[in-house]
Structure formats: structure tokens, C-alpha cells
Amino acid sequence: MANTRLLQLEAKTTIVDASKRLGMPRRDFLQFCATLAAGLGLPPGAEAAVAEAVASKKRPSVIWLHFQECTGCTESLLRAEHPTLERLILDVISLDYHETLFAAAGHQVEQARKTAMAANKGAYLLVVEGAIPTRDGGIYCKVGGQTAIELTRECAADAAAVIAIGSCASWGGMPSTAPNPTGSSGVADVLGKPVVTIPGCPPNPYNFLATVVHFLTFAALPPLDELGRPKFAYSRLIHENCERRAHFDAGRFAMQFGDEGHRKGYCLYKLGCKGPETYANCPTALFGDAGAGTWPVGCGHPCIGCTEQGVGFSKPIHMLSKVKNAEPPQQYPRIVEEQGVGATLGSASLLAAVAGAAAGAGAMVARNLGLSHQAAEAERARAAREKTEV
């Protein structure tokens, strides 16, 4: 809270009113806005603009469609704590259509959607959750007598922006896996134009919230990568920020669930972790506002690559991933090396001097992968001999 401009806003009437509406102390509200600005990668001073926008600008109307999905994306949103869901949909955005959360049903719901679209023409956000079946004219998913294809195209026609939330809407996700009998596709394929994609199964709700707040603050979407993903959330490999990365660099791997390496928190690469080829902010954003370690790898399960097309729901969970970046961030760590077979600082430095730092690091990591396997095999052989002797 050292930002002077942000502190100056604390006494403003709009900030006081906004913090009351959101049920948050003023300092917490300003800290929430500063966190959003930092998460978006905005320059210093932007947090004040975010706070003023959330406090005073008209809430963006949101039309939320559901198709082939498990409602996991909405379930994830339901568990947001900063702010809570009811504050989010009543005070940050105007959720004017959402089949799961609406109390009304039938014709009333469809009329609410049409009314909101007409009143906010060219200004509302369209959010699509779930894949869209395209085979046989899209007859495998209908809402209110319209196919998912028809609804998506109708709602996208006058939307200010289209957001595909979750892997299913982003590129087809789980419903599109072979043999894909319904012809499940992502939103961009159906519309024939790029859309904002927030993949994940489910994605972190704050990636969605931050995208909406950026739109609210600057009347523009955040910078996107070539797949339409917000760069603030999907520009770094999971492998780069993983708390188990040091063990990967030193060649310490869990070989099976429940073994000594798994219990000690060693790298899960050999159990099929897809972190080395998956872009997402899971290790830093975490899930569920439940504290440290609340993401799959932190809980002891390999990343399945759910945010990456061609990885999640395509590669077997325990298939080894393609290591896109094998170079350690600084140097090989000395974390209880005598218990593993990791490279020493001396051997790593010698190799780097001969082959160059980058090539040397990559070669040493590759060597460590083999050494760890050899060590595991040797241990199994020793245990077998002892059992035979007994």
C-alpha cells in the first residue's frame, strides 16, 4: 500500500461507496485493485485507474452461454473470494444472462437475454462456456429451441467482445477428443474469427475477472497471444514457476505415487507432469483461495496440461511431456544433493565452460533425467536381491 496515488483515493466518496457495496474494508478494496493491476502486468500507477473504474464506471453487461461442458468454469467462479460471487455479479459486472445461476426459467430467461442484448447493443461481453457441437447442423445441443451454433452467432453479432472461458469453449476440450461424435469445436472456429480464450479445466476465476476489469478500466481487452489467451496469465510455462523446479534441475524425481521422492516433494516429471510444455499461471495464482500449494502439482499430482491444445485431453496423463525449456533459472541448486544424483556445482560449471551456459544446462538436465532413472533401477535391483537372499 505504498502507492501514494492509491492511498489518496481512500477518502473519495466513490471508493467508500464501492467498498461498502463489495463488503470490503477500503484498504482491502484498494489492495484488491492493486493486485489485479499487478496480475495484469500494468505499469505503476495503473492500480489507481483500476480502482476508480471499478468504483464509478458502469458495470459491463455480461451474457453467459452454456453448451457442452460440466459447469466446472461456473463452479470455479462460485468459489471466488475476492470479491465473492454475489458481489462480483451485482457490483463489478452485470450478469444479465446465465442459465445456471438464474432463478427464472423458460421464456422469461430468454426474454431477459434479448432485453439485455438490445439495451447494451455493441457494449456487452459475451462469455461462452462449453464446446459447440457442429455435426448434423448442431442438433446435439439446443437451448430455447435454438442450436448452440445459432445462439453463439446471434449473441456475438453485437457483442463488444467474445470470451471463451474454459478449455471446452477455447478449442473443444474434452468433448472434442476422438472420435468426437458431435463434432465439438471451440467458439473461434464456429464464429470464424479470433476470440479471447481463457483455457483451463477449470480456469482460474481471477484470470476471467482480471480480463473483465481490464476491459472496464481501459475499454479494451488485455494483450493476447497468438491463441487469444491473455498474456498476463498464459505467457510463462508452468515449469518456470513450479515449486518443484529445483528438484527437476538437480535430477530428483518421484518415480511412482507414494514413493520416497513423492513424499519428499520431488519433481513429478516422470509421473507425466505436463508443466514443461504448458503455459499458465497456476503456480502463482493458485486455486480456491485456500492458501499455499492449492494447485495440482502442489497437491502431489502431475499437471495434465489442460490449458494447452494438443496436450490436455490429447496426451495420456502419464506420458512424458516435451521439455520446452530445460535451462535452469540460475544455477543447479544444492538441496541435500548427497541424497540424490544431481549434478554438483563443479560439474555443472565445467560443462558450461566447455559447451556454453545454455547448452551445458540443457545437456546436464538431460543427463540428470537418465541418471535418476538409473538410480531408481539400481534401487529396485538391490531391493530384489535382498528379498531373494531372505
Q: Does the annotation place 70 within a ligand binding site? A: yes
Give the contacts of 69 (CB within 8 A, at least 6 positions apart).
Answer: 129, 130, 131, 166, 168, 169, 173, 175
Cis, bond preceding 194 (omega within 30 deg of 0): no
Say if residue 155 carries a ligand binding annotation.
no
299 annotated binding-site participant? no
Residue (of 211, 209, 166) closest to 309 by Cα position = 166
| 33 annotated as a binding-site residue | no
Instruction: Classify 178 as helix, strand or coil.
Output: coil
DSSP 15-33: HHHHHHHTT--HHHHHHHH
String of b and e for 323-352 (b: at least 16 CB within 10 Å)?
Answer: beebebeeebbeeebeebbbbeeeebeebb
Helices 26-39 and 46-56 meet at what angle, rounded to 10? 120
- According to the annotation, is 141 in a ligand binding site? no
C-beta pairs of 31-36 under 8 Å, 24+ apart in sequence: 31/1, 32/82, 32/83, 33/6, 34/1, 34/3, 34/6, 35/82, 36/206, 36/209, 36/210, 36/213
Given the C-alpha cell 533401477, which residue does it identify?
Answer: 377
Residue 273 assigned ligand-binding role = yes
Instruction: Return the HEC string of 273-319.
Output: CCHHHCECCHHHHCCCCCCCCCCCHHHCCCCCCCCCCCCCCCCCCCC
Q: At 264, give phi and psi (nearest 5°).
A: -85, 0
Lookup: cell for 98: 446465465
CB 72 within 8 A of CB 208: no
Sorted by sequence, the CB contacts under 8 Å of residue 164 that are 6+ apart come out as: 128, 170, 186, 187, 188, 195, 196, 197, 198, 199, 228
Other C-beta atoms within 10 Å of 111: how many? 12
Q: Do 332 and 364 contact (CB within 8 A), yes or no?
A: yes
Report how far apart, in Å, the C-alpha atoms of 164 and of each of 54, 73, 284 are. Answer: 23, 11, 22
Q: Which residues are annotated as a binding site for [4Fe-4S] cluster?
A: 70, 73, 168, 201, 239, 242, 267, 273
Q: Which residues are annotated as a binding site for [3Fe-4S] cluster?
A: 282, 303, 306
Q: Which residues are annotated as a binding site?
A: 70, 73, 168, 201, 239, 242, 267, 273, 282, 303, 306
